[in-house]
Amino acid sequence: MEGLQELTFWQKAHLYYQKGLENGDKRIENWLLVYSPVPVICIILCYLFIVWAGPKLMAKKEPINLKLVLIVYNFSMVCLSAYMFYEFTVSSWMANYSLLCQPVDYSDSVLALRMASVCWLFYFSKYIEFCDTIFFILRKKNRQLTFLHVYHHSTMILNCWVGLKYTPGGQSFMSGLVNSLVHVAMYFYYGLAAFGPSMSKYLWWKHYLTILQLLQFFLVTLHTVYNLFADCNYPDALNLIVFFYALTLIALFSHFYYRSYITSRTHDLGKCKV
Residue 232 identity = C
The candidate with the shortest Cα–Cα distance to 154, out of 74, 70, 42, 35, is 42
Is residue 149 part of the annotated active site? The answer reads no
DSSP state, 59? Answer: T
Question: Do 217 and 246 contact (CB within 8 A), yes or no?
Answer: yes
Q: How far is CA 144 from CA 125, 199, 240, in A?
A: 21, 20, 30
d(CA 74, CA 187): 5
The candidate with the shortest Cα–Cα distance to 28, out of 158, 137, 120, is 120
Question: Do 210 and 253 contact (CB within 8 A), yes or no?
Answer: yes
d(CA 188, CA 267): 29
Q: Pick the catalytic residue from 152, 153, 183, 223.
A: 152
User: In what helix (H) or strand (E) does residue 154 lie, and over which residues does it extend?
Assistant: helix 147-166
Buried b or exposed e, range 198-207, using 16+ CB within 10 angstroms: eeeeeeeeee
Q: How far is CA 59 from CA 137, 138, 161, 174, in A?
A: 10, 10, 34, 42
Residues carrying an active site annotation: 152
